[in-house]
Amino acid sequence: MKKIVSASVFLLLIFLYACQSDKEIEQQRYFVNGKSIFEQHCQNCHGANGEGLGELYPPLTDTVFMRSNKSKIACIIKNGSNTALMVHNKKYEGKMPAESDLSDIEIAEIVNYITNSFGNKLGDYDVNNAAADLKNCQ
Amino acid sequence: MKYFGALIISLTAFISCTQPEKKLPILGNREPVEKTVDGKVVVDTVYQTIPSFNFINQDSVQVSDKNFAGKVYVADFFFTSCTSICPIMHRNMLKVYNQYKSNPEVKLLSHSIDSKYDTPSQLKKYADKLGVKGDMWEFVNGPHDAIYGIAEKSYLVSVAADSKDPANFIHQGWFVLVDKDKRLRGAYDGTDPKQVDQLTSDIQTLLDEYHTR
């Protein structure tokens, strides 16, 4: 009996471990794809290191802003943005164009990339998160 | 014509190799003209130069070729609502600005190709947000034909309204280096940080050329 219990615990651990690394690999795939979409669609304005450009384009390095707005980023990408934003205590009032052609998965990849780059470490984000966030766009 | 250009480049390369100091090539069209010196006819070369111009800058002040007399300057073409290559160009140009902003011999000249929307006050907002102060870097507005004409004929940069998208323009992101004699001395892809680094050092080379004369 004892043997069976420890064997199943052992198996469970293996499964957990295997699933964990599957998930990690999946997240890495999001991140890598997100980087290449970022280079094509976002980097001209926000810079290769997310540094932004003067007060024209905000940086993506404000970890507090990114943390508290993580669930809004998908909508910002999909619909653009045209409000006053405070990033690193500076006011930005520019206009970010909408990227309405991007699919949910592409948006998830970009969000995954930018929320885990430029000093941000906000962890997992996948297509289900993106779909949920995009339902709540204003 | 292509071969002519290649010949010029290889000639200048050859000449610059045999000279101890590095000199930038002179670009653009050139014409041989006959001159009489001491009773003898000699052939001299006349290089293409930037003609006189008159635009309005971000402070609503008239800016003409006179403001660029005796300066080495970099010219480019952009518009403030451009979301494609312009942010990249001006992120790179900012590096040139920061390097030379306190050098009175160097200026930057960005022409808007959207004369309707880019009024001086719009250009001022843009310059402010970019973090540019003073008049070392001029952002100018001018009549459509004057800007497009000087772009294509004088700076050899092609610009055009996009026929598919009326809110957009097709244009090249060249940074054109002009010397104190209004001649073209270099053209660099303003979207490529490496070429812009080259421009930054070529400006110094050009300044040295005038200093050692």
What integer best gives the mean pLDDT of chain B?
A: 88
B154, pLDDT greater than 90: yes
Q: Which one of A44, A45, A54 has the shortest CB-CB distance to B130? A: A54
Give the tens place of pLDDT for each residue, B62-104. Answer: 999 999 999 999 999 999 998 889 999 999 999 999 999 999 9
Alpha helices in A1-138, H assignment, sequence order:
2-41, 43-46, 63-68, 70-79, 104-114, 127-135
The residue range of the domain holding A78 is 22-135
A53 contacts: CB under 8 Å, gap ≥ 6:
A45, A46, A47, B87, B90, B91, B94, B130
In a domain, A4, yes or no: no
Q: Binding site annotation covers B82?
A: yes
The residue range of the domain holding B175 is 50-211
CA of residue A35 relative to chain centroid, distance? 10
The CATH number assigned to the domain holding A101 equals 1.10.760.10
In a domain, A92, yes or no: yes
The token pair at B130 is 């970019």
In a domain, B42, yes or no: no
The CATH number assigned to the domain holding B140 equals 3.40.30.10
Give the tens place of pLDDT for each residue, B170-211. Answer: 678 999 999 999 999 999 999 999 999 999 999 999 999 998
Give the tens place of pLDDT for each residue, B6-54. Answer: 555 555 555 554 545 678 999 988 888 888 888 888 888 889 999 999 9
Q: Can you give the pTM of this predicted structure?
A: 0.84
The ipTM assigned to this model is 0.79
In a domain, A15, yes or no: no
In a domain, A11, yes or no: no
Asked whether the beta carbons of residue B87 and residue A97 sit closer than 8 angstroms, the reply is no
**Domains: count for chain B:** 1
In a domain, B137, yes or no: yes
Q: Binding site annotation covers B171?
A: yes
In angstroms, the separation between the Cα of residue A47 and the nearest Cα of chain B is 8
Q: In the sheet that B72-78 helps form, which strands lie side by side, from edge to edge?
A: B137-140, B106-112, B72-78, B174-178, B184-189
**Domains: count for chain A:** 1
In a domain, B43, yes or no: no
Instruction: Measure the CA–CA gap between A66 and A72, rounded to whole angstroms.
Output: 9
* Interface test with chain A among B83, B84, B137, B139, by most A beta carbons within 10 Å: B83
Instruction: Measure the CA–CA gap between B95 and B101, rounded to whole angstroms.
Output: 10
In a domain, A8, yes or no: no
Q: Binding site annotation covers B211?
A: no
In a domain, A79, yes or no: yes
